[in-house]
Amino acid sequence: MRILLLLILAACTQAPPVYVSRIPAQSEYMACHDIQTELLIPQIDISGLEKNYQNVKEVVFKNNCASCHFGSDSYLPHLDDYNSLMTVVNVNDPLESKLWLTLSEGKMPPSYTLDSREPEAMAFLKAWLKEGAPL
Ligand code: HEC
């Protein structure tokens, strides 16, 4: 089983061939993307998790946002930095926060909606926001 997964990953991470005899269908790229994402997402039980920033970062941002929003040279907001994150959170009206609206309107992540792929992560983020987005 493990070898099979490695083979799939290897096939998915291969650079495109130099001589392309036909243009691969969009669905082929998507299939690889989905397989990689499925394999990399750890199954986390969020029911007992304390609602704090560290856990939101682990459960929500690490899997879905890190490639673009982690690191100081990344796009704003820097989701790996609490103070930067708080520039898109309104503690007085959390569900009107830019962070929540961007996700619930399906604008971020750009290639899928978080709610369709990881509803638990979405629910955890909402619960954390409702508690005032504690550190
Ligand atoms: C593939 C890259 C990419 C990923 C992955 C990504 N973002 Fe973004 N994000 C961007 C870019 C580019 C912008 C700035 C341009 C824009 O607003 O569309 C942005 C802007 C934002 C903004 C500011 C929107 C505004 O109106 O100012 C928020 C909030 C945000 N992202 C949250 C997230 C969250 C949360 C995730 C993960 C669940 C995520 N993004 C995943 C690329 C990404």
> How far is ligand 1, taken at its centre, from the CA of residue 124, in Å?
19
Distance between CA atoms of residues 59 and 46, nearest Å: 8
Mean pLDDT of 97-106: 98
Decide: 61 and 55 in contact? Cβ < 8 Å. Answer: no
Confidence category of residue 47, pLDDT binned at 50, 70, 90: confident
| Residue 117 domain-assigned (yes or no) | yes
Mean pLDDT of 42-57: 87
Q: Quick check: 135 pLDDT over 80?
A: yes
Predicted confidence at residue 69, as pLDDT, reads 97
123 and 64, same structural domain? Answer: yes
Predicted confidence at residue 110, as pLDDT, reads 97
> How far is ligand 1, taken at its centre, from the CA of residue 80, in Å?
13
83 and 20, same structural domain? Answer: no
113 and 59, same structural domain? Answer: yes
| Residue 93 domain-assigned (yes or no) | yes
| Residue 10 domain-assigned (yes or no) | yes
| Residue 46 domain-assigned (yes or no) | no
Predicted confidence at residue 19, as pLDDT, reads 46
| Residue 12 domain-assigned (yes or no) | yes
Confidence category of residue 64, pLDDT binned at 50, 70, 90: very high
Ligand 1 neighbours, Cβ below 6 Å, are 64-65, 67-69, 75, 77, 88, 98-99, 102-103, 108-110, 114
| Residue 107 domain-assigned (yes or no) | yes
101 and 71, same structural domain? Answer: yes
Number of domains in the chain: 2
Mean pLDDT of 77-92: 97
Q: How many CA atoms lie within 13 A of 8 on its CB side?
A: 17
Mean pLDDT of 4-33: 48
Predicted confidence at residue 45, as pLDDT, reads 78
Distance between CA atoms of residues 9 and 5, nearest Å: 6
> How far is ligand 1, taken at its centre, from the CA of residue 119, in Å?
18
Percentage of the chain exceeding pLDDT 90: 61
Domain ranges, residue 106: 53-130
12 and 66, same structural domain? Answer: no
Give 128: exposed, middle or buried? Use CB within 10 Å, 0-12, 13-18, 19+.
buried
Q: Quick check: 36 pLDDT over 90?
A: no
Alpha carbon nearest to ligand 1 atom 36, residue: 65
| Residue 112 domain-assigned (yes or no) | yes
Short-list 4, 18, 19, 118, CA closest to 61: 118
